[in-house]
Structure formats: C-alpha cells, structure tokens
Amino acid sequence: MSDKVKIGIVGVGTIGSVHADAYAKVNRADVVALCDILPDRLKEKGARHGVETLYEDYNELLADSDIEAVSVCVPNNMHAPIAIAAFDAGKDVLLEKPMALSAQEGQAICDARDRAGKVLQMGMVQRQSADGRFLKEVIDKGQLGEIYQMRVILRRRRGIPGMGGWFTTKALSGGGGLIDIGVHFFDLAMWTSGCWNPTRVSAKTYTKFGSPMENYNYTSMWAGPPDYNGTFDVDDYACGFVRFGANTTMNFEVCWAANTEPQQFLEILGDKGGIRMGSGAPVLLTEVGDRIADVKMDYDNKRDNFAEEMRTFIAAVKGEAEPAATAEQGVTTMKLIDAIYRSSAADAEVVVE
C-alpha cells in the first residue's frame, strides 16, 4: 500500500496552485482532487496539475473517502466553514492564512479540530523561510540575549490586490493589508521571540487609497484587474504599538499603499544583540569583547518555503511531528489583529482578549 497522503485542495486560485506545485515536490503527498466554484478555472487547473477528480462543491470533496487531508485555499470568509466541515468529515487540514475573519471563528476551528482529533497546520509559510529559521536559531542560541523590542515594517507603495474584489471587501476578507500581510510577520515575531502573550494594543488603521477606487494609481495589480463596481471598505495602512506583558513591546507599520519607499523587515532587539530579517543578508549588531561590532552572519539561504511547509504538514499527518504552526498560535495572532482593529475604532489602547 502506498504511504502517500492523499490530498484535496479546496480553492484553486493563486495559492491553491502554489500548494499543488509544492505537494508535487513532496514524496509522500499525492494531490488526488481539486475543488473550485469556478468551473472553467477548475478544469484549467485540473489539466495544469494533472488531477482528474474535480468538484465544484467542497462538501462533495469532503465526502470523498479517498481523501485524507485538505488544503484550504479559499477567500478568508470561507476558512472557518470549510475547515470545520473538513474536521467533521474526518480530514486533516492545512489552512491558509489568516486563520479566519476573527479570533472567535479561529477558536471554533480549534474546537472542531479537537472534536475530530485531527491535525491542523496553519499556512505560516514565512516560518519555513531560510531567513525566518535563521533568526529563530540565533534567538534560540541566546545570541540576542533578553528580547525587549520588536519592529515589523511591511510597506508597499502601491500594492492593493484585486481592487473591488474579495481582498478589499471586509465581509469576505476581514480587513485589508493588516490581516492580509501583517499576519505573516506578527506570527514570525511571536514565533521567533517566543512572546506569545500580546496583552495591550494602541493602533490606528486608515483607508486612503481605495476610495474612490477609480482614483487609485498603480503600475501592477495581482488578483486584478480592478472591479470598480465592487467594494473597498478595508484598511490600506495600519500602525501601532503592542505590549507583551510588562517587558516586551512591538511597533509596526503595515500597508498595502502609502506615499513611501517600499520596505519590509522584522527587527528584534535584545540586550546582547539586535538583528533584522527581510532586508538582505542579516547582520548581528552586537559587541565583541569591549568593541561595538557588526557581525555578518553566514547561513544557507536556499530553501523552498512552500515545499517545506507541505513536508512538515505531511509529517504531522503521519504523527511524526507537531504541526509547524499550530491552531492555538493562529488564534493568538487573530486576537492580536482583532485588538488592533478594536483599538483603531475606539481611538484608545485596548486589552487583547
């Protein structure tokens, strides 16, 4: 009998295809079925990925007893309903980010996993990046000392995806740039530092570029072209300050669009060293003897992030390892994002609940 895990992919848009390509690189995974509500796209993706079993209704895919595990690659509003239905059908789940529209929905997914006794891995692919793993290694070896401050900068100049489509419609996405891209580096900051206790947030979100949609100037748009009959009711800029208990803090700027230079990094400061990832080769800012020193760090930066994500998921399904990113961590990240939106609406610091 084959020891391959039979996979179904629900949602074969941009990331669904990335999942299919990545599973194809993993010996013990076999994508046996695809599902999408768009019949033409489904047929085209079936041909592209060499998958013959195609479903237009995810309930049919979940009822297929041949399938052991599913990748959930649909718009954010469908994460909770499909992940919960998958657990009820006895499948293991690899769930794309963000976990759901809110921490409450995330918790419902967690509960469904527990009822089913199945595996859930969050699609936090940045954890599989060479830079992310290197940063974690440096921290785990104590080379930064005691961590007290983190900074997340994710700034696009003009990078709103699918203007007017599901990405920019709050009911379908849960929010804009903050929930779409912020989630990656918030997870990375908490995972590498081990600070999974966000306690208080003061933040502000803005909507400056999508309204009216026709006035948005851009040079490229993925998930496009724009649909000017659609909706734009989400943030395109967010900034704020997070406390992790009494001794650690994080400030952040996350935006799809702003009149600024594009920039992307996670910086972590400790009392022995500070380091940035995401902006070229990492340099450890530290002291050597009694000298202030910049130490250029050497590491293997060749890694296929998505293939590694699938490999870790298959190992978790087989019971050989813990999921690379857990549902509980997903819920904590959603609580942080919920608090950022609440703080902005309240114009005040709020407790992360």
Ligand X SMILES: NC(=O)c1ccc[n+]([C@@H]2O[C@H](COP(=O)([O-])OP(=O)(O)OC[C@H]3O[C@@H](n4cnc5c(N)ncnc54)[C@H](O)[C@@H]3O)[C@@H](O)[C@H]2O)c1
User: 32, 67, 69, 78: which one contacts ligand X (CB under 6 A)?
Assistant: 78
| Span near ligand X by CB under 6 A; candidates 68-76, 132-140, 148-156, 255-263 | 68-76
Residue of 8, 9, 22, 76 that binds ligand X (CB under 6 A): 76
Q: Show the binding pattern over residues 162-201: x = contacts ligand X (CB under 6 A), - = does not.
A: ------------------x---------------------
Three-state SS across the chain? CCCCEEEEEECCCHHHHHHHHHHCCCCCEEEEEEECCCHHHHHHHHHHHCCCEEECCHHHHHHCCCCCEEEECCCHHHHHHHHHHHHHCCCEEEECCCCCCCHHHHHHHHHHHHHHCCCEEECCHHHHCHHHHHHHHHHHCCCCCCEEEEEEEEECCECCCCCCCHHHCHHHHCCCHHHHHHHHHHHHHHHHHCCCCEEEEEEEEECCCCCCHHHCCCCCCCCCCCCCCCCCCCCCEEEEEEEECCCEEEEEEEECECCCCCEEEEEEEECCCEEEECCCCCEEEEEECCEEEEEECCCCCCCCHHHHHHHHHHHHHCCCCCCCCCHHHHHHHHHHHHHHHHHHHHCCCEECC
Choice between 101 and 350, CB closer to ligand X? 101
Q: Which is nearer to ligand X, 76 or 248 (CB)?
A: 76
CB-based closest residue to ligand X: 13
224 binds ligand X (CB under 6 A): no
CB of residue 84 to ligand X, shortest distance in Å: 13
Query: Is the Cβ of residue 38 or residue 47 nearer to ligand X in the bound state?
Result: 38
Instruction: Return the range that interacts with ligand X (CB under 6 A); candidates 73-81, 201-209, 243-251, 259-267.
Output: 73-81
Which of 46, 123, 132, 323: binder of ligand X (CB under 6 A)?
Answer: 123
Residue 14 touching ligand X (CB under 6 A): yes
Q: Taking the complex as a whole, how short is the minimal distance between the CB of residue 66 and ligand X, in angstroms?
A: 18
Q: Does 73 bind ligand X (CB under 6 A)?
A: yes
Residues between 33 and 62 with contacts to ligand X, criterion CB under 6 A? 35-38, 41, 58
Interface stretch with ligand X, choices 74-82, 101-109, 279-287, 341-349 (CB under 6 A)? 74-82
Range in contact with ligand X (rule: CB under 6 A) among 24-32, 71-79, 199-207, 211-219: 71-79
CB 49: neighbour CB atoms within 10 A? 18
Query: Site residues (CB under 6 A) for ligand X?
Result: 10-16, 35-38, 41, 58, 73-76, 78, 96-97, 123, 125, 180, 223
